[in-house]
Each structure stands twice: as structure tokens, then as C-alpha cells.
A = this chain, B = another copy of it.
Amino acid sequence: MLQQRSSRLLSSLSHNFSRTAASELNASLRCRSSRAYSIHADASVGTKIQDIDPTKLSVTKTTTPKGLLPPEELIFGRNFTDHMLSLEWTASQGWLPSRITPYQNLSLDPATCVFHYAFEAFEGMKAYKDKEGNVRLFRPDLNMARLNKSSARIALPTFDGAAMIDLIGKFVKLDERFIPDARGYSLYLRPTMIGTQRTLGVGPPASALLYVIASPVGPYYPTGFKAVSLEATDYAVRAWPGGVGDKKLGANYAPCIVPQMQAASRGFHQNLWLFGEEEYVTEVGTMNLFAAIKNKDGQPELLTAPLDGTILEGVTRDSVLDLARERLVPQGWKVTERKFTMKEVADAVDEGRMMEVFGAGTAAIVSPVRRISWKGRMVECGLADNVEAGPITLQMKDWIEDIQYGVEEHAWSHKVL
């Protein structure tokens, strides 16, 4: 729906990012004025700004195809396929014809704004191979809608998501030999939007580059689930109301590394971001967080933080919620998006009401949590010593993987033709 809104807006705009950005701000930041602004409006008078046209694609194949790594040697995001997909944008012309080329370095002026002001947004998504050999994407429309929202928030251009999915499909088909043919394996896709204006003035970039690279990856837990330990972080804050924590921007990542290293130095896999004096549970390192708790009436409840602007709008989060509403609610579960505190989690443990906790994200799908270090105590999240994942965690992984690999035909799985 967002994608449609975005497309509709695009076709009626003289300059495609500005009004989308304004609309985004109006909607999500409760801007006091609904008046849209138009920067560079003069530049586009009498010019038709082009959206992405997937029929305008040039393909230059590599003359030095790479060898395939043994699947067990694949490391996330380290090796890439033979090609990449690139689209340039300028404020005066819009999206220029797309190109598939051999994977290659970007050559950029040292004054390019992406190096100075973090004009960068990205997505993480995967291509899977099903038993019939088809290539499938999982809910790519959500990734494209989110990239548009992220881009608009930092004055980068937006685009027609369906056209981009078409191009990504062509790119993935060209490099499909890199997708290992086994459950748990996939081709990680990284659509990336960067500002490419070559001046140091702080303003909206007048040029940008959208590119997609692809890295074959193995299962996150090659030998079965391993529950992780988290450290609750209260001395640093990832996101705040009125900020950009709900967008997939580079700006949200670099500042998280040192707290993550701090947690690692004390033996924890990731840190859990708390917010405010209330110590609301927000999200984990690079995942959304779910807690399955028996509430005081004895009803099992699957809880996650609401999309209040401080939480990444995870595609896996959304999928877990939808599946839980469809398949767990009939079994007596309550499924809730609401603010909840670390104390609530600890109370549930103390009162024997904790069932399980897991993270949700594209890399691992779900990631079971064994314990959370909080205020000098260890909050044990319901797993017996010899158990690495709770039943809901296991169930969610199966349900989602069945859809991703086409075992269950589902509208979320997009077959690349």
C-alpha cells in the first residue's frame, strides 16, 4: 500500500523526493504545517522527471566469472556474486536507465556527500531457491516501501517499488548460480541508496545512486539454534521520539557498535536497547524483540514493542505478528504490540510466567534468547539448560521458512519469472 502511495505521489510530482519527504514528515512526525515545500522547483519546470523504467536495462556480463565457494565457507556479506545492479538519479532528470555490470568498485570524489553527511539508506532481503529450482523473494514490496520511506526522510529520491522488484529479479536470475540449493541457504541482497553530490554544502543531494549487491549466505545457525545472551543497555540510546530510529539509515548503525563491543567484552552476544526512565524494551542489536509471557490471567501473550518511531519496522517482525494473529490466536494466544518494560519481563520470570524470548530479523529469521543481563542480575528467559529454543521460536522459523522456500504457497513469496 505504501508502495502504491509512493508510486502515485511520484507520478504527480515535479521533484520526486521533496513532497514524499514532506508527506512522510507530516504523517510520522506530526508536522504542524501541511504545506509542502519544493526545492529546485525551477529546475524541473517543463521537464518530465523519470521514474524507474525496468525495460531500460543494459546488461554487461562479466568475462571473469567467479568460482563458487563451498556452502560451509560462506560468511555473511563477505563474498559477492559476479554482477551488481546500478541506477543513477539526478534532480533534473530523475532515474536514468538501469545497468547490470560486473561487480566493481565505485569511483567517487572525496567531497561526495555520502562520505560526510551520511546520505545513505539500505535494505536487507534474500532470494531463495525452491525445490523446483525457482528463485523466490520474500515480501520484497515491504523492503521497497521501507527504502522509499528511509530515503525520503533524508532527502534522497524515491522510486517505483514494483519496477525495482522487476529489476532485482532480473539481476538475481542472472546470478542465480550463486544461490545454494538447500534449505537455510539464500542470496542476501543489499539494495543501497547513497547521495552522490560532490559538494560540502549541507543540503538535499541533487544526485544519487541506487545499487544492489548480492552475497550468498548459509544458515545463521548451521548446527541448530544457539540461544543468545543479551546485555540491557541503559547508558546509550539508539533512537528517540522525533528521531530516525524507525528508518533503515546508515546513521542508525555506526553509533551502535561501541555499546555492542562493550556488551561483547562482558561475554554477551548482543545488546538490548532500553528506552527512558521506564526502561522500555525496544530492540536488540540488529533485530526486533518478542517475549512470550503468560499474563496474570494465565493467557499466553506474544508481546513486541509498537512502531512508535523508535523501532525498526522489521519485515520479519511484521511476518511474525501476522502469523501469530492468524495461527496462534485461534489457539488461545493474545498478540500485542505495546510498550513493555524490562521490569515486566523480570517480573514474569520471577513469577514463573516467562515462556520464551526471541529476536526477529532477516539474517536469522528468529534468534532465541537465553538470558538478559539487567541491573546486575541475570534475567533467565525460560529456556532449560539443555534447550536452545522455545516452541514458538521453532514454530515461527518453520512457518516462515516454509513460505520463503515455497513449501507453502503464500502471497508473501514472490516467484521471480
Decide if B254 touches A213 in the complex (CB within 8 Å).
no
* A405 at the B interface (CB under 8 A): no
Within A271-299, the residues touching B (CB, 8 Å) are: 285-286
A297 to chain B minimum Cβ distance, whole angstroms, is: 36
**A120 is contacted by which of B31, B111, B116, B259 (Cβ under 8 Å)?**
B116
A204 to chain B minimum Cβ distance, whole angstroms, is: 6
* A384 at the B interface (CB under 8 A): no
A312 to chain B minimum Cβ distance, whole angstroms, is: 13
* A352 at the B interface (CB under 8 A): no
Identical chains in the assembly: 2
Given contacts A237-B242, A250-B116, contact A261 B204 (CB under 8 A): yes
Given contacts A105-B107, A190-B116, contact A201 B76 (CB under 8 A): yes
> Which one of A37, A251, A257 has the highest number of Cβ atoms from chain B below 10 Å of its Cβ?
A257
Query: What is the CA–CA distance of A252 and B258 in the complex, to the nearest angstrom?
Result: 17
Interface size range on A against B: 35 or more
Decide if B200 touches A77 in the complex (CB within 8 Å).
yes
Query: What is the CA–CA distance of A242 and B111 in the complex, to the nearest angstrom?
Result: 30
Decide if A153 touches B31 in the complex (CB within 8 Å).
no
Given contacts A114-B115, A120-B118, A240-B240, contact A266 B33 (CB under 8 A): yes
Decide if B77 touches A154 in the complex (CB within 8 Å).
no
* A221 at the B interface (CB under 8 A): no
* Chain B residues positioned under 8 Å from A114 (CB to CB): 114-115
* Chain B residues positioned under 8 Å from A199 (CB to CB): 75-78
**A119 is contacted by which of B237, B254, B265 (Cβ under 8 Å)?**
B254
* Chain B residues positioned under 8 Å from A115 (CB to CB): 106, 114, 120, 192, 194, 250
* A178 at the B interface (CB under 8 A): no
> Which one of A29, A103, A195, A254 has the highest number of Cβ atoms from chain B below 10 Å of its Cβ?
A254
A180 to chain B minimum Cβ distance, whole angstroms, is: 18
Given contacts A106-B110, A154-B255, A242-B237, contact A190 B194 (CB under 8 A): no
Query: A-B pairs with the 10 shortest C-beta distances?
Result: A37-B265, A77-B200, A237-B242, A118-B250, A117-B253, A251-B251, A240-B240, A154-B254, A118-B118, A155-B257
